[in-house]
Amino acid sequence: MPLLDADALAERAYAKVNLALHVRERRADGYHELESLFVFARNGDLLTGETTEDGSISLMLDGPFADALEAGEGNLVMKAARLMQERLGEKRGAAIRLTKTLPVASGIGGGSADAAAALRLLNRLWGAQLPSAELERIGLLLGSDVPACISSVTQMVRGRGEVLEQREVQGLTGMPMLLVNPGVALSTAQVFKGWDQQDRGPLDVGTLEDVIVRGRNDLEPPAIQVAPIIAEVLAQLHGQAGVQLTRMSGSGATCFALFDQSESRSAAAKALVAQRPGWWIMETEIGGA
């Protein structure tokens, strides 16, 4: 596959972070009823693409986590492209490059964000002009987190990912955030299987204080059972100066810490890099709503 031209269109696949994740019940369709506050980092994977006239869809992978993925039909970007092509009846194809900078199977929506970015990219590339709501409907066919990743803004997410409500939480936008993954890939299905089936109440947040005091991640205990090192990551983050909130994101194993100042975040990142050189660590901020 040739390198993409410099004028190829690009979309960023922003890392998704669950500031809180409440598991309420198992539904009749086998999915779990969830309530979660999603925020998005200002960093993530990068997708670029060009139109091809022969109708073919191709994917090239690069970046530090490219080796953890295959570029074939099982890749969520390829699945998104096929769905979009079918939905539009589009005769043209696309050559897509995914620069993978987020770890795989890590609880920060890497694959879902990539799929959402692919839908946005192809919507522009093929001049389809589908509204975001339609992209979200297509995205739900690919995964529960994909609809929220279409807009990549702070929002309450309910159901299995189909009920979205943009939410303005004062003080969140621009808040310094540190993401840490100890190099462990977790199966979402395995973590959910370990959930104790206890409904500990709804998620109702309007302020950062609500997120800290009332929020929780119900998947944290079963994830720690599968990968005990998550508890070490949380302890390391909790002990850093300037930390406002530390929690696991999604089904893990990535954990996050919110800081009062960027200097505190950077100092924590520097200390962790020195102490745990094998961990993946990303300094970022929460994106705007």
The residues assigned a catalytic role are 16, 145
Burial annotation 274-285 (CB, 10 A radius, 16+ → b, else e)? eebeebbebbbb
Closest by CA position to 113, among listed 162, 87, 67, 76: 76
Closest by CA position to 10, among listed 53, 46, 54: 46
Closest by CA position to 20, among listed 243, 147, 202, 161: 202
Name 62's bridge partners.
99
User: Cβ contacts of residue 153 below 8 Å, gap of 6+?
Assistant: 40, 166, 287, 288, 289
The Cβ of residue 192 has, within 10 Å, a number of other Cβ atoms equal to 17
Q: Is 152 left (phi over 0), alpha (psi -120 to 50) or beta?
A: left
Residue in the structure block whose two tokens are 């705007």? 288
188's tokens: 């979402």
Burial annotation 207-224 (CB, 10 A radius, 16+ → b, else e)? ebeebbebbbbbbbbbbb
The span from the CA of 176 to the CA of 134, in Å, is: 32
